[in-house]
Amino acid sequence: MGEKRRASSPAPVDVYDEEFYNNLKFAKGLINEMCCIGDKQICKKWIGKLVNLKSDDPVVKKNRNCFFKYMLSVMEKAIKDSAYKLNIEGGKKASTDNNFLCKWSNDKRTYLAAKPLPGLGTLVYLAVSKNPSLGWDHP
């Protein structure tokens, strides 16, 4: 009779599960920031596999979380490196029609163009001139 039982207390969540659910919330936000639909689908597929991984073994949970953290870092890098978010200090506003970016510096000495190649990388063209009056065609 010395014990008091809590009514409807939830099952204890271990540290690994708590970390996993926090990372899951973070991943949902990152997926919304991704531009490429294919990348979003790949991330959702792998997150689904992690969610379906059921184990009580702390080593399995720890390894699951390590992989998930690495995956989140890759997702963050993909978002940061995306040509859609490319922004150079100075210059005029960038044009991003059809996933293509081009930008002139204010002094018209530097021109940058970038186009993402899905699944391959980004094609980048950079031109610099000491004297822009020697034949540049300005937009």
Q: Residue 121's beta-bridge partner residues?
A: 117
Q: What is the pTM of this model?
A: 0.53
Question: Do 61 and 100 reside in the same domain of the chain?
Answer: no
- Say whether pLDDT at 138 is over 90: no
Identity of the amino acid at 24: L
Domain housing 126: 85-134
Q: Which two tokens stand for residue 70?
A: 């690495």
Question: Do 97 and 41 reside in the same domain of the chain?
Answer: no
Question: Do 48 and 71 reside in the same domain of the chain?
Answer: yes
**Strand, coil or helix: 45:** helix
In whole angstroms, give the CA distance from residue 99 to residue 110. Answer: 21
Q: What is the pLDDT of residues 82-102, one digit of tens each?
A: 644 444 444 444 444 456 778
